[in-house]
Every structure is written in structure tokens, then in C-alpha cells.
Chain A
Amino acid sequence: SAVISQKPSRDICQRGTSLTIQCQVDSQVTMMFWYRQQPGQSLTLIATANQGSEATYESGFVIDKFPISRPNLTFSTLTVSNMSPEDSSIYLCSVGWGDFDIANTGELFFGEGSRLTVL
């Protein structure tokens, strides 16, 4: 397992501003992901954070809106750019190890999330 710390845990932001969310893991992990949970909705994968290279975005998410960095195996940031009220969500960092096998069965571990409210 892993201990995942996200900062900030919550914030209230003004329309048009940008906010960077940090995700720190207490051990090196193979995979890091960013998910979004809109109010009353399920979780949607935004992107895979790749160490030392550009993130891989899911359909409907673009780098200009959600730039992601992953400088090493324990840290990643997600920026929500030019925010609008529609960006009000919980943003969750998740991590995992390796491929599916007996030891690593592909489960993901989640941080407690960053709750953003955009006014």
C-alpha cells in the first residue's frame, strides 16, 4: 500500500484563475493517475502522469486545461487552468504498481482528494 498526500485538501477559487494540486507518495510507484469526481457523480480518469514525459490524456481532457507534471516516482501535480464553475469537483490522485500478477493485482490507491469550488 501507499500513503498519498494531496494539497490543498480544499480550496475556493475565483473564475479565470488556475490552481495547482500536489500529490506526494511515501514510496516510489510505477503508475500515477488523476481522476475527477464531479458533484454527485462517479470518478472519471483525467490522465496518466508519466514520469519525465508528457501525460497521457483521456478523451475530453486536454493538456492546456489540465497540465500535469511528474518529475519523479513519488510526486505529481495537476493544474486546473482558467477555472470556471463547471470545474468544481474533487480531484483525486491515485497510484499503483506494475502489471497484473499475483503480487500486483492492479488495484489503485487513492489520496483523500482535493475539493475545489469555483465561484
Chain B
Amino acid sequence: AQSVTQLGSHVSVSEGALVLLRCNYSSSVPPYLFWYVQYPNQGLQLLLKYTSAATLVKGINGFEAEFKKSETSFHLTKPSAHMSDAAEYFCAVSEGTSYGKLTFGQGTILTVHP
């Protein structure tokens, strides 16, 4: 069975600082991995996805994530935080044999201070 662990339910950074949100997964088959963002009172928006192509994936709003099979990780980064990045971020995994059945991590709330 697949699972996702996000380390840190809350992350706080200063504007302009590096953003690092951690995600580790467990999957019995090569996974497909996703990062979603949820702004207050809104639905989920896809930030980026890993689907067995390049291990470094670039997404929207300057975010990127690197798939590291040896570490079973898919951490999300952004070099310079912006106030508008404040939101909740979810890492999710899907196994190829169970399309659409995303297993989500617990979520990480990102706060950006001026």
C-alpha cells in the first residue's frame, strides 16, 4: 500500500528566504508523485508532478521538486518565498495500477513573514 509523510505540519519562512517542504513516500511500485496547493477557502491546485521522466520537476509559481528514489523523497522547494505563497501544501502519491486514487500527506501550512 502506498503512503505519504510530510515532515512538519507548519513551516514558517521570511519573505525572500528558501522554502523547503518535505515529503517522503512509500510505494510498492514506481510512483507518480504530485504537489498540490490549497489557498484558504479554495480547492486544490496542481503545482507540479513527477511521472518517471526527469527527476527534477519544475512547476508553477517558481516551485520545483526533486524525486530521489534512494531516499524515497519528493521535497518541494522555492528559492525565494513570496507573501502570496502562504497556503497549505499537500504531497500526494498515485500508483500506476490505481489511477486517480491519490494518497495525500497530512499537509504543510506555509506561513511567510514580511
Contact = CB atoms under 8 A, between A and B. Distances in A.
Contacts of A33: 100-101
B100 A48 contact: yes
B101 to A, nearest CB: 6
B94 interface: yes
A31 B44 CA distance: 17
Interface residues of A, number: 24
Interface residues of B, number: 22
Contacts of A106: 32, 49, 51, 94, 96, 99-100
A61 B102 CA distance: 16
B114 to A, nearest CB: 26
15 contacts: A33-B100, A41-B106, A42-B105, A43-B44, A45-B102, A94-B100, A96-B100, A99-B99, A105-B49, A105-B51, A106-B51, A107-B34, A107-B46, A109-B46, A111-B43
Interface of A: 4, 31, 33, 41-45, 48, 58, 92, 94, 96, 99-100, 105-113
